[in-house]
Structure 1
């Protein structure tokens, strides 16, 4: 059920990053690692299973929305897939 805004103590702007803003173009990342980075955390930060599950649920649509900006590897065995920046979306050093 909707609630009036004045029922909330704090309200924040909703900011979603571009993949180039958070990913290093030299690395590939799992979805949970990307989820942490979207929260401003180190990709190796330990999280509770519930917290990680929630962050991953928020991250998957973000990845899908930016699909053209990613490359993915062919997973090996039970290893997860890794995502990295597509070369077409990596800024040239001249542009930085």
Structure 2
């Protein structure tokens, strides 16, 4: 099945990491610039590594050119579990 989650993304950071909540959304800093989809690719790579799933199981379903992105993650975790995993 999977979950849908909306994230706030800050591209061009020194390293990819979870920071905090921003307007009720998890905020992630991503260590790639928002050029030619690089930040989106880095976001998918970062989340798949953190969650221990393949990159094909993480899809951006809206907001490809926005800082606010909705993702669909093909995993049996809850939203709360997702937050705990990306914090660690």
* Shorter-chain TM-score range: 0.3 to 0.5
The TM-score with structure 2 as length reference comes to: 0.33
Relative to its length, the structure with more strand (as a share) is: 2
Relative to its length, the structure with more helix (as a share) is: 1
More relative contact order, 1 or 2 (CA 8 Å, 6+ apart): 2
